[in-house]
Amino acid sequence: MSSNATFLNLNLSRLFARLAFVFAVLAVCSLLVVIIVSRFVIGTLADERLAVTRGMLEFPTQYFSGSARLNARLAAAELADAGADSSRALLHAQRAVELSPYDYRFRLALASIQEANGDRQAAESSLEAARDLARQNWNVHYRLGNLLLREGKLDQSLGELRSAVAANSNVLPGTLDLVWRASHEDVNAVRSIAESTSRTKLALAQFLLKNSHVAEAADVFASIDREDRLASAADSSAFLNALIAAGNFNTAHQLWSELTGAVQSTLVNNGGFESDISKNFAQFDWSFSRTEYARFALDTNVAHVGSRSLRIEFTGQDTTRLDNEVKQLVAIRPGARYRLECYFKTNKLDTPEGPRVVVSDAASSWIAASEPIPAGSNDWRLLTVDFTSPSTSAVIVSIKRKPKFSYDEPTSGTVWFDDFSIKEQ
């Protein structure tokens, strides 16, 4: 009898243990299911890629009231709903911050609602707290700087905007416009936010030039590391072109010379064609363009002095015309008297009238021109053109052939040019 009772107790103990284990497993599984479901619901509804309405969020937020993400999402939905109660949006945003005080994103959301409610001081405090939590985040700095600017706190805003631009240079163009207007076109204000890198300095130089602050723009451009300017060839070249288009020839030439390292004994750059033509920075170098009437090349076998010259081979097309296919922009002093000199050589030049060396103003109107190059074969000869510079501070030196009539006989043969120079008389 005692043996049977012991056996029964053992069986009952094992049964209770098994039942307890089963219930424990079911409880854990149930808890896991609840956790998984809650995370799925919260994760889905809090995902900003999913468009949700205030109505879709109200019940889940009540059910999962401890979710900072759902409270923040509902706050944003309340704010976006024109008919919603802004105080409810503020309540949920504050609840999100309380539940997750170290997540800067919830403080950004709270700041948006506070500012929408007209409480800029509270919004500023929230943004400052967000900045302290995420000092490397450009958006936090940008939003705080933007708010400070709208509050009239220019000096305080510049530090925040400078940090934003340093972290994300893509916001610089809009920030420059914003600060320019808010500071009443204060050059020092825009400079203070944009001189952190070579890239931002270049954008600043372009901005100042666009707003007619030429001297300041040139100063910023010159302060950029030369290697960085050369590496940003397209932007640097565009800046020089903008200076030229605005008529600031001497400033552009000075910056161009420093950038390219061009050494000029006269006002004409590379007058002897000894250097290769710059592809990226041709503003004050020789420029060649295609034409059906002639072919241009730097000849390494024929030269007046040095080792190279410019060779022009005429193709024999009738009514031969050369306009600005060979040209160079030259910076000069307005109203001064100059003499242009160069040397030419010909071989079997057959033409009703040879090409000329022409000095034009920036609009390509002729100022002075040489006599036509004579036909035939000629050894090197000196050619001169005297001229007075126009009111603008640049001229164009080019080789032109302008037909006298709508039709004339073809031009064929070869002409070489070398050793161009312009000197003030």
Residues 6+ apart with CB under 8 A from 7: none
pLDDT tens for 5-23 read: 555 555 556 666 666 655 6
Position 163 in a domain:
no
In the chain, what is the straight-line distance between the N-terminal and C-terminal CA atoms, in Å? 139
Q: Which of 285, 281, 290, 351 is nearest to 323 (CA)?
A: 290
pLDDT confidence of residue 15: 60
Residues 6+ apart with CB under 8 A from 223: 195, 201
pLDDT digit string (tens) for the chain, length 425 residues: 555 555 555 555 666 666 665 565 555 555 444 444 444 444 555 455 555 555 555 656 665 666 777 777 777 777 766 555 678 888 888 888 888 899 999 899 899 989 988 999 999 999 999 999 999 999 999 999 999 999 999 999 999 999 999 999 999 999 999 999 999 999 999 999 998 899 999 999 999 999 999 999 999 999 999 999 999 999 999 999 999 999 999 999 999 999 998 877 789 999 999 999 888 999 999 999 999 999 999 999 999 999 999 999 999 999 999 998 999 999 999 999 999 999 999 999 999 999 999 999 988 899 999 999 999 999 999 999 999 999 889 999 999 999 988 899 999 999 999 999 999 99
Give the count of domains, the chain: 2
Yes or no: say if 262 and 280 are a contact pair by the CB < 8 Å rule.
no
pTM: 0.77
CATH code of 73's domain: 1.25.40.10
pLDDT tens for 359-374 read: 999 888 999 999 999 9
Give the end of a domain, one of 134, 149, 171.
134
Give the end of a domain, one of 134, 150, 166.
134
| SS percent in the chain: helix, strand, coil, step 5 | 50, 20, 30
CATH code of 417's domain: 2.60.120.260
Position 416 in a domain:
yes
pLDDT confidence of residue 40: 41
Position 372 in a domain:
yes
Position 371 in a domain:
yes
Q: Which of 322, 296, 290, 320 is nearest to 310 (CA)?
A: 296
pLDDT confidence of residue 83: 58
The boundaries of the domain holding residue 325 are 287-424
Position 366 in a domain:
yes
Position 395 in a domain:
yes
Backbone angles phi, psi at 103, to 5 degrees: -100, 110
Position 21 in a domain:
yes
pLDDT confidence of residue 171: 95
Position 159 in a domain:
no
Give the end of a domain, one of 134, 162, 179.
134
